[in-house]
Amino acid sequence: MTFREHGLNLPRPPVYRITVGQCLLLALSWWFVRLAGYPVVADSVFYGGLIAVLPQAWFAWRVFQYRGARSATHIARASYSGEVAKFVLTVSGFAAVFALVRPISGGAVFAGYGEMLVIQIVGSWWLLK
């Protein structure tokens, strides 16, 4: 019997689909709000969404680069370091956006961030089904 027959060589989960979906929905949100005549709000939603998407994509890449029971230590380390990096990237993203972007709508930044978090949660739940 081969490793695949024993289930030892499981395929990686397609977590990239969540990031792709987030990017598509973020682009559509930006476009619709801009067409509605609110360019500052559209840009703010976009920046908030990026603050959620980029750190999460980094985390997913770090955690899912290893597979198998022999890589358990590497997976655990990648989870810890990925979570720390995700936190630092998120905080840095908010700091950079609020310090550098003018004009900005603070509520729209947080709305874009929240929108992407909801998509992340729903997407993760959907992939696990």
Asked if residue 104 lies in contact with residue 40, where contact means CB atoms within 8 angstroms, the answer is: yes
Binning the chain into helix, strand and coil, the percentages to the nearest 5 are: 80, 0, 20
Looking at residue 11, its pLDDT comes to 66
Q: State pLDDT tens for residues 70-122.
A: 667 877 888 888 899 999 999 999 999 999 999 999 999 999 999 999 999 99
Has residue 4 got a pLDDT over 50? no
**So what's the pLDDT on residue 54?**
95
pTM > 0.75: yes
* Per-domain boundaries in the chain: 14-124
pLDDT at 22: 92
